[in-house]
Amino acid sequence: MTTLNLAIDGMSCGHCVMSVQKALRALDGVDVQQVLIGSAALRYDPAKRTVDDILNAVRDQGFEPRAAANA
């Protein structure tokens, strides 16, 4: 499993946190560790998931994620 930290623009409340959590948990091969307003920490299996898969799942919820440097 590879650690990935995301910075996420556009999150403003607990509902946003729930949306991001739900979207990430729905991805097979992703282990969500923590979601806060503006960030998420997770681990993923590179054999099953790409970073783009993960970013797109967050984008689909209407937020703007980017991989944080040196996760």
DSSP character at residue 4: E
Cα distance between residue 70 and residue 31, in whole Å: 18
- Work out how close the CB of 16 gets to Cu ion at its nearest, in angstroms, rounded to a whole number: 3
Nearer Cβ to Cu ion (46/62): 62
- Work out how close the CB of 12 gets to Cu ion at its nearest, in angstroms, rounded to a whole number: 5
User: Site residues (CB under 5 A) for Cu ion?
Assistant: 12-13, 15-16
- Work out how close the CB of 20 gets to Cu ion at its nearest, in angstroms, rounded to a whole number: 10
Nearer Cβ to Cu ion (12/50): 12
Give the 3-state secondary structure of residue 11.
Answer: coil
Cα distance between residue 66 and residue 37, in whole Å: 14
